[in-house]
Chains A and B, each alone.
Chain A
């Protein structure tokens, strides 16, 4: 007979949790944060103390997204991806694997490409985030967006925001001097439809155009 159950809790653990919960209940948010942030983070990570999370796991965060300043309260465990999609209603950035393995969630932080599923929101304090929604100027598309349309750099479109954000960064980094180099520096973005040849063409085209990105 096989018994399966991932969380066989240690009774000592439970007592500990109870203690922590009580402690947290009787502290104010700021006191709790000042006194015991590592415990809080740990509690959140292990998902053992959800009530604590509900009461106290909100950290102030101030950042700029697509040119708009936000003053927010976020749980420390929230990823930049979830912050964008769920709290800021910017669903253009996609969740493909949530493990940093597909590139669909690529955004720019202070101009550099970052996998938003692998970045905690709280780490972006004071930074400037650009998502796919922030590229165009009204109806005027960014040159990379234009190029993806011109070269059909997509099929289903799901990986496209990540590809475009990555493509822009690839040029900014000076890594688009040849098709070979584009391939190397775009290899972290998976396109299951296989639109790769057109993606390379689009990036090469923008590079050739010499736009300031």
Chain B
């Protein structure tokens, strides 16, 4: 089935937040963000700003009728700074004017006096100073301490990953409209309507049933609008509540980049031990997560880093400790993969380190240690593993040995171009790691003309979830998809939603929709059976007709529905789904947190231009565990898009803050996202159709996040290519591997090799230290 939004997308008729027709009298907001990363506010001078023509009012923390707090997991994030500022871009005041231009111009006239305090940008420094968001967590399996003696090879090292700007092409925004009875309606570009509802409710001191949040669709989310849409919604709601007028704020790209958090940068120390047969016996890792100035979703992201710290390998002895470190950067947040990719990069670095030291191909170690069904993850769950199937199928299908030989042959004959090949197996757990979030509801109405309207908690952001939900209803009722309309996501229709995240949205909301449709269909079938005087078990809905015992009757869908209405059969259903079997005990750090895992293997090959340091991704060849894909076009889109985004994170996307905590990569001119050239020349995808039962909707496994992690292979392919040129090159395990860093790794100027920037530059930068 085609994407249900295809027709409006290509006609420019799809409505995003900034396209909603404005109500007369609407005002426009703009946020004044702190120019300093850390300090005490001594004076906020609004005099010039307030007299700017068109300005209606300027809001500060003093205007908040409820609680000045939007922190979701930990209450540590004020909506508007009062006494202190904690990051550059932290909202201090909110200007509302009769035009966007006036609001932005007035923002520039606000004067803020700050007594600066020390700025921390490095997570290791924050950890050393005890600046932690939550107490450290440790996942443990077996006993590493006593295992090192069994190891023939032990390697230690450090690995670092940088952040990643979400760069949804639609920026953040909200439009708040006051309603009668003191209620408020907020249109928000959010992945988490309930999170926005909670934040607004808390800030305004209103019960949740007075806060309606509506989302039509997003122009991309990628995790960036899971919790970070709250700020703008709460600011608009605050202003609309006071002024009794609609207030809209659609962020400028540079405001968005400067004020919102990104993927978490991580630093890690690892120690890996292997026996003579190259089985990994023990792995110890310590993660330092750069959480930024407030918790946001960092504790949950940290948890997923631990869950995925062994990727798709079985390691009998594991000790993984993670620190969520408070720094003075904008609060970092969810981003496709949610900490998982960072955990995987570290174990892959450890394996690469071992392989480099032993002078063998990392693939040998990878293959020998793949998870088998029944193996235990460090968190106690037993694997239903497709890892070996994916690996071996890829190895045969794409002829890994031949690929490796071709690379060797190329490198033997070329001096200025070198090729690198890396294998990247993945394993990603599906479910929110917080068990309570694994629930969803769907509201299905069958109207008397046979048309169907569905509302769920899912937010459409390009991942095709609404298309999949329409497919579910079309299949259960056996009607044409044209008869089905998926309505906006709205907190007054569906309450207490989980955000559209964790790749689980189609599963959760799809299953709830299936339950609701099935309940209505069952009632209609029962009625038809009585009408026709047959056993209900013989009645089926098929191609818009009632079938009895495989024979079509005269009763079509439309007349069946109308008859149901006349006979007063309930044609609406609100169904609830909660993922079964999952639990997790955080006190023991053990449990069964995931409904299932998604596996896959990618071979990534890259050619490096050794004069210029630039490179081309030649091919990404994948065998991916889709279960039984219910929509190949949608799933392929997720796969290709995920790979490109993962490659971007690993190669070209470089978030740069200076030591004062100010974002330097603050526009598309200074932050490079994958353009059409970044796409691998070849993306080959083989669908591994797995026979096992799983908890996915129609057994079609979640596909949003897992493919991003194939992109990690790009880093290691680059590394192999560079080492083919410069055999003795030693360079740190640090991503992204920008062309600049590749060049420096190709031509190390010191004995041990460097990839750091020029010393003068480095003194001013925060992340490259």
Indicate whether B390 reaches chain A with its CB closer than 8 angstroms: no
Determine which residue in A5, A136, A146, A158 has the highest number of CB atoms from chain B within 10 A of its CB, and name it.
A158
**Residues of B with C-beta under 8 A to A196:** 640, 644, 674, 676, 679
**Of the residues B6, B18, B217, B674, contact of A156 by C-beta under 8 Å:** B217
The reply to whether A133 and B111 contact each other, CB–CB distance below 8 Å, is no
Q: Which of A23-31, A35-43, A94-102, A108-116 contacts B (4 or more CB under 8 A)?
A: A94-102
The reply to whether B111 and A4 contact each other, CB–CB distance below 8 Å, is yes
* 13 A-B pairs in the complex with CB atoms less than 8 angstroms apart: A4-B36, A5-B109, A91-B19, A99-B669, A104-B169, A132-B10, A154-B462, A155-B463, A157-B462, A187-B677, A190-B169, A193-B641, A200-B676
The reply to whether B5 and A190 contact each other, CB–CB distance below 8 Å, is no
Given A3-B111, A193-B637, A194-B643, is A132 in contact with B669 using a C-beta cutoff of 8 Å?
Answer: no
The reply to whether A156 and B11 contact each other, CB–CB distance below 8 Å, is no
The reply to whether B169 and A156 contact each other, CB–CB distance below 8 Å, is yes
The reply to whether A190 and B12 contact each other, CB–CB distance below 8 Å, is no
Per-residue B-contact encoding for A137-171, CB less than 8 Å = 1, 0 else: 00001000110110010111111110010000000
**Residues of B with C-beta under 8 A to A4:** 35-36, 111-114
Indicate whether A204 reaches chain B with its CB closer than 8 angstroms: no
Q: Output the nearest chain A residue to B220 by Cβ-Cβ distance.
A: A156
**Of the residues A50, A158, A160, contact of B10 by C-beta under 8 Å:** A160
Indicate whether B727 reaches chain A with its CB closer than 8 angstroms: no
Indicate whether A7 reaches chain B with its CB closer than 8 angstroms: yes
Q: Output the nearest chain B residue to A135 by Cβ-Cβ distance.
A: B11
Indicate whether A195 reaches chain B with its CB closer than 8 angstroms: yes
Q: Output the nearest chain A residue to B40 by Cβ-Cβ distance.
A: A1
Distance of A160 Cα from B220 Cα, bound (Å)? 12
Indicate whether B39 reaches chain A with its CB closer than 8 angstroms: yes
B95–chain A nearest beta-carbon distance, Å: 14
A112–chain B nearest beta-carbon distance, Å: 19
Indicate whether B52 reaches chain A with its CB closer than 8 angstroms: yes
Indicate whether A183 reaches chain B with its CB closer than 8 angstroms: yes
Indicate whether A11 reaches chain B with its CB closer than 8 angstroms: no
The reply to whether B36 and A2 contact each other, CB–CB distance below 8 Å, is yes
**Of the residues A99, A156, A190, A197, contact of B683 by C-beta under 8 Å:** A197
A153–chain B nearest beta-carbon distance, Å: 8
Using a CB–CB distance below 8 Å, which chain A residues touch chain B?
1-7, 47, 50-51, 54, 85, 89-99, 101-102, 104, 131-133, 135-136, 141, 145-146, 148-149, 152, 154-161, 164, 183, 186-187, 189-200
Given A92-B12, A157-B9, is A5 in contact with B675 using a C-beta cutoff of 8 Å?
Answer: no
Determine which residue in B112, B219, B669 has the highest number of CB atoms from chain A within 10 A of its CB, and name it.
B219
**Residues of B with C-beta under 8 A to A156:** 168-170, 217-220, 461-462
**Residues of B with C-beta under 8 A to A194:** 640-645, 674, 679
Distance of A194 Cα from B642 Cα, bound (Å)? 7
Indicate whether B739 reaches chain A with its CB closer than 8 angstroms: no
Distance of A194 Cα from B7 Cα, bound (Å)? 19
B276–chain A nearest beta-carbon distance, Å: 43
Within B157-206, the residues touching A (CB, 8 Å) are: 166-171
A33–chain B nearest beta-carbon distance, Å: 20
Indicate whether B252 reaches chain A with its CB closer than 8 angstroms: yes
Distance of A95 Cα from B252 Cα, bound (Å)? 9
Distance of A104 Cα from B19 Cα, bound (Å)? 14
Indicate whether B730 reaches chain A with its CB closer than 8 angstroms: no
**Residues of A with C-beta under 8 A to B590:** none
A contact patch SS: loop
Indicate whether B110 reaches chain A with its CB closer than 8 angstroms: yes
Q: Output the nearest chain B residue to A96 by Cβ-Cβ distance.
A: B169
A134–chain B nearest beta-carbon distance, Å: 9
The reply to whether B169 and A159 contact each other, CB–CB distance below 8 Å, is yes
**Residues of B with C-beta under 8 A to A195:** 637, 640-641
Distance of A3 Cα from B115 Cα, bound (Å)? 9
Indicate whether B464 reaches chain A with its CB closer than 8 angstroms: yes
The reply to whether B105 and A50 contact each other, CB–CB distance below 8 Å, is yes
Distance of A116 Cα from B640 Cα, bound (Å)? 30
The reply to whether A5 and B13 contact each other, CB–CB distance below 8 Å, is no
Of all A-B residue pairs in the complex, the 4 with the closest CB atoms, nearest first, are A92-B12, A156-B462, A158-B219, A132-B12
B12–chain A nearest beta-carbon distance, Å: 2
**Of the residues A141, A155, A200, contact of B462 by C-beta under 8 Å:** A155
Within B440-495, the residues touching A (CB, 8 Å) are: 461-464
**Residues of A with C-beta under 8 A to B166:** 192
**Residues of A with C-beta under 8 A to B54:** 50
Per-residue A-contact encoding for B87-121, CB less than 8 Å = 1, 0 else: 00000000000000110010011111111100000
Indicate whether B673 reaches chain A with its CB closer than 8 angstroms: yes
**Residues of A with C-beta under 8 A to B14:** 157
Q: Output the nearest chain B residue to A133 by Cβ-Cβ distance.
A: B12
Indicate whether B664 reaches chain A with its CB closer than 8 angstroms: no
**Residues of A with C-beta under 8 A to B10:** 132, 141, 145-146, 148-149, 154, 160, 164
B270–chain A nearest beta-carbon distance, Å: 30
Indicate whether B414 reaches chain A with its CB closer than 8 angstroms: no
Indicate whether B580 reaches chain A with its CB closer than 8 angstroms: no
- In the complex, besides A101-B668, A157-B217, A187-B675, 18 extra interface pairs with C-beta distance below 8 angstroms are A1-B114, A7-B108, A7-B109, A96-B171, A99-B669, A149-B7, A152-B636, A154-B3, A154-B462, A156-B170, A156-B218, A156-B220, A158-B168, A161-B12, A192-B166, A194-B640, A194-B645, A198-B637
Indicate whether B53 reaches chain A with its CB closer than 8 angstroms: yes
The reply to whether B683 and A47 contact each other, CB–CB distance below 8 Å, is no
Indicate whether B145 reaches chain A with its CB closer than 8 angstroms: no
Distance of A188 Cα from B341 Cα, bound (Å)? 29
**Residues of B with C-beta under 8 A to A97:** 253, 667-668
